[in-house]
Structure 1
Amino acid sequence: MFRIWGKIIKDNKMKKDQTILNETDDTRTHKIFDAVYEMCDNWDLSKPIWLDSNISEFKELSKTRFGQDNFIENIDFDYLEIQVIEE
């Protein structure tokens, strides 16, 4: 079982959150991307761009934040945070 938790944060308050469960035999990377894309589709957001800082942070902590620099369109929140909560 693989679960990832996504949160939209604005002014230090959680505005939205969602947990995505993936029980497929995909690779960990595919499960992460699929979960992020599903969250973005559900919240009507563009897909974030993974910068080197996001990749290294996620590898180390299984958690990262996507701010305005990660989105092509303007966002009306401070950041989107994703975290693996079960592998």
Structure 2
Amino acid sequence: MFRMSGTLMKDNKIIASCISRQEGPGSRTEKVLRALEEICQHMDLAVPIWLPARIEEFKQRSKTVFLEDSFMEEIPFDSFSIQVIEE
């Protein structure tokens, strides 16, 4: 089973969190993208843009933090982090 968590932070406090579970066929990339979409939908967020620095960080550490520059609209939080917690 593949699980990924998403966390919204504001003023160094967690304001929302969610875990997505992905089962079945598909590459790791497909599961990451499906999980990200599910987490964003649950939190009523637009899916962030994967900037090159975020992609590299995620490849190396299986986690990354999206900041304001990763969203097309203004965001009411400081950061949105995702992390793979089980593969």
Q: TM-score range by the shorter chain?
A: over 0.9
Alignment of 1:34-53 (within 5 A): 34-53=34-53
Shift of 1:7: 0.3
Question: Which blocks of at least 5 consecutive residues in structure 2 are unaligned?
Answer: none
Alpha-carbon RMSD: 0.6
Given the two structures, how large is their TM-score scaled by the length of structure 1? 0.97
- After the TM superposition, which parts of structure 1 deviate over 6 Å for at least 4 consecutive aligned residues? none
Gaps of 5+ in 1: none
TM norm structure 2? 0.97
Q: 2:3 maps to which residue?
A: 3
Equivalent residue, structure 2, for 1:29: 29
- Percent identity of paired positions between Structure 1 and Structure 2: 47
Look up the SS of the partner of 2:3 in the other structure.
strand
Deviation at 1:54, TM superposition (A): 0.4
